[in-house]
Each structure stands twice: as C-alpha cells, then as structure tokens.
Amino acid sequence: MTLKKNSGSKTISNTKEKRKTSPSTNELIQGILSGDAASLAKAITLVESTRKENLQTANTIIEKCLSSKNESIRIGITGVPGVGKSTFIEALGKLLTSLNKKVAVLAIDPTSTETKGSILGDKTRMPELVKDSNAFVRPSPSGTSLGGVTRKTREAIILCEAAGYDVILIETVGVGQSESLVHSMVDFFLLLKLPGAGDELQGIKRGIIEMADAIVINKADGDNQKAARIAKIDFNQALHLYPPKADGWVPKVLLCSALQNEGVNAIWNLIEDHNLQSRQTGSFIARRKQQNKYWLLQTVEDRLKRDFYENPTIKAELEKMMVSVMDNQISPFAAAESLLARYKKKSN
Ligand code: GDP
C-alpha cells in the first residue's frame, strides 16, 4: 500500500518536474515578462541553442519581448584578464542592487570560440552577485564564431530587458574583435586598466581608447596608489590626442579599487551623467538606432556566410577549388565567381 502511494506521488512530482523543465513558448514569454529569472534563463538557453528546431521558438520569444521603451542602460566592460573585471562587476552590481536596481551580467568570451576553455563566464567569479535575487549572472555562450556568440548575447540583452533588468553589464576580454563587438551593443563603454599603464600606452590597441567613454584605473590601492595617479595623468593626456566624440561626451579617467570598494560610486555617477546627457541630446536613441541597423546587417551577413559554407555542394566544390587555386590552375577571383554562381543557382 505504502509503496503504491509512494510511487503515485513520485509520478505526480515527476510530471510536475517535467512541466517545470519544458514550459510552453507562451509560458516562457509570460514568465520573462513577469520577471521570472528561471524563465529568462531557459529562454536564453533556447536562443543560444544551435538546433534548427529551436530557432523558430527563440525568434517568437524575442519578437514578443522586443520593446521600444529604451529604459535600460547597457554598459560594456573590458580589460585584460586579471585587471579586476569580475571584482569590479561584483562591486558595481552590489551597489546597483542596493539602489533597488535589477542588474543582469552577460559575458562574451572570445577565447571560448577557439579553445574549448574560457577565461570568462564562470559563475563563481561573482559569488556575492550570484546570490543576489536582484541580479542575473549568465556565463558566455559558446559558439563556433565570435559573430555567433555576440549575436546570442545581443538577443539575451533583449530578453533581460523584457524581464525588467534596469542595468545590463556586458563583460569581455581584450582579445581580437570582441571589444568592438561589445561596443556596438552598449550605451556606455568602460575600459579597465591597471596602474603603471603609462609604459603600456604605446602598445594599447588604438581603437580601444577611441571607443571608451571612461577609463578606470583599477587596483588604485596600497602600493599602487602613486602609479595609479600617474596612469590617470597619462591616460588623460592620451585622450586629448583624439578628436572629440560625435555625441559631445568627453571621456573621463577615474581611479578605483574594486577590492576595497572605493571609487565605484563615482563611476556609477559618471555613467548616470552620461546617460542623462545622451538622453537629453538624443544621442542615446541615435546610438541605439545605429546599433539596430548594424545588427540587422551583421545578422544577414552571418546567415549568408553560414548558409554558403554549410551547403554540401559548395563544401565539396570549395575543396576542389582551393586545390586548383593553390596550383594556379584558376585565379582566386574566377574560382569565387564560379562558386557564387553555383550557390545562386542552388538557392533559386
Ligand atoms: P578579471 O580576470 O579581470 O575578472 O579579474 P578578477 O576580478 O578575477 O581579479 C584578479 C585579481 O585581482 C584577484 O586576485 C582580485 O582579488 C584582484 N583585484 C581585483 N580588484 C582589485 C583591486 O581593486 N585592488 C587589488 N589590490 N586587487 C584587486
């Protein structure tokens, strides 16, 4: 008797569990819109999925979650491994949740697309924030291309905003194109640097200084304080070498100790100033519009490329053409023309 009862209740709880793990598309959408973090996490998993059968569901969810309210602030945070990104995000995130804001942390890890390991994205990197019910921390999606990974992150931003997150922090490391990709999806771009960076100024990737809305010298504590002040002067001078930003914003250099939670408030105040100013001048909306256009074109490009290279006929033909091109039997241009003509014929 007891056994029967037990197995009965097990079945019920199994069914419940099953329902829990596979909610309908509508349930997911409703869950996200009501701010349910579990629904949000599941929807992001769907968006990240590379399985064709999930694409339609993912697109439906995104369509329903799109909003033109533009109320959130999207902040990109970059810096070399060890500069203190996770410590800083934890400190900033805690400050924001203490101000009653909901914070989502997303990551783009360019290293995970090449090696299977990853520098970013490990949840344990922000132990406090992970426990905070007003914070949502999501590791970097994995993918075969950086373009694919960043597209997924961009879609995750839309879902987080629909779930009511006010501030979206997007973290990346300074490898390859990842910084400019993050820059093209945020309202404010923050570059974290180490004290003593003066010597390093020569070697810094040029475009990065131009992209930054603020440069933060982290670890400005203990013995580092003097070096940090010198770095601040150096970076300020470096910033003056660049033409003013189109939106009129003058990038700032700030000192911070994420570990001791010093300077984090001032950084948030600066971000809020930028937010206020850019909303007043209209550059906030203009920037987001441009970004939407960019991502439309980027997505088309990604899809076309994938479609082309994954086409079995093209794959086989490309192999042969590569050999012919290397042996100088056909020019690279003629080979490309021939492949594209073949592809066009296939897709018509
Ligand atoms: P990430 O790789 O950029 O995410 O860097 P982490 O946040 O993991 O920090 C790397 C190391 O630097 C850790 O040992 C941190 O404790 C330390 N760290 C981070 N911020 C500071 C800071 O403001 N001051 C000092 N002294 N150490 C820090």
Question: What confidence tens digit (pLDDT) does each residue in 293-302 have?
Answer: 998 998 898 8
Among 80, 86, 87, say which to mutate for ligand 1: greatest number of ligand atoms within 8 Å of CB: 87
Q: Which string of DSSP letters, residue by residue, matches 39-83?
A: HHHHHHHHHH---HHHHHHHHHHHHHH--S---SEEEEEE--TTS
Q: Is the CB of 257 under 6 A from ligand 1?
A: yes
Check residue 249 and give left, alpha or beta (phi > 0: left; psi -120 to 50: alpha).
beta
Q: Which residue is closest in CA terms to ligand 1's atom 18?
A: 84
Residue 87 Cβ inside 6 Å of ligand 1? The answer reads yes
Q: How confident is the model at residue 150 (pLDDT cuts 50, 70, 90)?
A: confident
Give residue 105 CA to ligand 1 midpoint distance, Å. 17
Supply the pLDDT for residue 2. Answer: 36
Task: Give the pLDDT of residue 1.
Answer: 34
Percent pLDDT > 70 in the chain is: 86
Can you point out the beta strands (E) in the chain?
73-78, 103-108, 135-137, 167-172, 188-193, 214-217, 252-255
